[in-house]
Amino acid sequence: MPYAGLSLDGMVALVTGSARGIGKAIAVGLAEAGADVAVSDMEERLADARTTRESIKGLGRNSEAYALNTLDLENIQGAIGQVARDFGKLDVLVNNAGVRIRKPALEVTEADWDFVLDTNLKGVFFCAQAAARHMIDQGGGRIINIASQLAVVARDDRAPYCASKGGVANLTRSLALEWIKYGITVNAIGPGPTLTPGMLAAEQRAPEVVQSEMDVLMPLGRRMEPEELVGAAIYLASPSAGATTGHLLIVDGGWTII
């Protein structure tokens, strides 16, 4: 018999950026743990988001797909409000949507900086704010922000990304402190290098070069699979995490222990 403390039965979750990759794996994983799950992504990825929705429905859980652009504050408020109305409540928000630009710091433009920080940090804050308003009215909830191992260590050619994810980690602490009085826990997950469609599309190095980097920097010896992050999300969304808040849970194959 599964441990009841990790059951999400009766809960409603929203996962941003869940058409593919880490977001999709977490959305399906939360459904496997018992939650009904709202899937959301950019308008141009709605077809993929609907595929995620059908996977969740195949598990016997309720699911709908929503267009949610984290750069559009009006859209954030409207989409999250619609989720709460359609499902009757909102118990869990997973702030997964994010971008990265790999470029030497001396070549980063203002547009590059604004795009990464607005998506990865500003968008996370305003999604959390919109969700928290609904959670306060219902007496509590869970917010899980997807940060990175690069929230606590550095990497060359990723200055805006490192800045944004470090910001997410400390934003998580700030919101956790402020919202615990409402019964809302706020935590973050820090994934290490993970095989996602976005990462694979951006990778320009030969496989043997990537593997040599993993051999040096990643004790696990390989990039992670998105599904290896699901357990962390289920725990932080579950009743078992009622006293866990303001925490950055690093799941990085050992990257940050070297």
Catalytically active residues, by annotation: 161
- Is the separation of the CB atoms in 229 and 235 below 8 Å? no
In DSSP terms, which residues pair with 145 in a beta bridge? 95, 188
- CA 26 to CA 72: how far, in whole Å? 23
The total of other beta-carbon atoms located within 10 Å of residue 57's CB is: 15
Q: What letter does residue 96 receive in the DSSP assignment?
A: -
Looking at residue 53, its amino acid is R
CB-count exposure of residue 74 (10 Å: 0-12, 13-18, 19+): exposed
- Is the separation of the CB atoms in 123 and 70 below 8 Å? yes
